[in-house]
Amino acid sequence: MACNTPTEKAATTSEKSAAPSTEAPAAKPSKKKPKKASFEKLTYKNAAQQLKALAQEHPETMVEISTEYGNITLRLFEETPLHRTNFIRLVKAGYYDQTQFYRVVKEFMIQGGNSDDLEIQSVKGKLGIYQIPAEFNPKFYHRRGAVAMARVRENNPKKKSAPYSFYIVQGKKYTPGELRGVEETYELKFNAEQTEVYTTVGGAPYLDYDHTVFGEVVEGMDVVDKIAEVETDKREWPLQLIHTKMKVLR
């Protein structure tokens, strides 16, 4: 589960293969033990209500991801409170300390937050199986460094996010002509700022309004670039597992 293929329209081959996926390929078991979660189990029915209730109790917005390649600092947006609170909740519960960056696509994204390890599946069972209502905001789009949540595409017309798998956009620069092609194919319209960013900084514009962007990298994009260069198998799983540790900064 993750951001499956952007849209089943006339997407380019590279765009289709680049879509984040919430399904984690087989991986070597992790020996790390999760911290005990002290949060109520969430369900499809109570997730939105419970995350709203937790928002004020857990107002933090800064998270650090530690990897063998270096650290990545994230800022989570207050304007996407359900996604921000969900991510903080999982970091505090120690969930992400048991996972890896399990999918890497150069010039698109690195995706983390999942594993097929039986221990992490047990942790998911305790934290809950649920979805997060979409929180699309025109201020936040898939520019280089954007942090967004993956989602199941089938039977999900409201584009609710999956709760665990996230991705960080590395992206690529688009020419004005390429960007117009994205607008036509995916029925999008980019404003002046977005056009400037996508043509000079880069990103993954075809995923806008398809996945909720809820944060950004404020330090460590060089680490994202290093991870994006690792060798992968045909399923885009890194040949050497990239484990993560996370902590809330403030």
Give pLDDT tens digits for 127-154. 999 999 999 999 999 999 999 999 999 9
CB burial of 32-43 (b: ≥16 within 10 Å; e: otherwise) equals: eebeebebeebe
Q: What is the pTM of this model?
A: 0.87
Pinpoint the alpha helices (H) of 128-168: none
Give the span between the Cα atoms of 236 and 14, in whole angstroms.
13
Q: Is the pLDDT of residue 78 over 50?
A: yes
Q: What is the pLDDT of residues 17-59, one digit of tens each?
A: 456 766 554 444 444 554 454 789 999 999 999 999 999 999 9
* Structure confidence by residue, pLDDT tens digits, 107-132: 999 999 987 677 788 889 899 999 99
pLDDT greater than 90 at residue 210? yes
**Has residue 249 got a pLDDT over 70?**
yes
Q: What domains lie within the chain, and their CATH numbers?
A: 13-21+40-248 (2.40.100.10)
What digits encode the pLDDT tens for the residues 164-193? Answer: 999 999 999 999 999 999 999 999 999 999
CA distance 175 to 173: 7
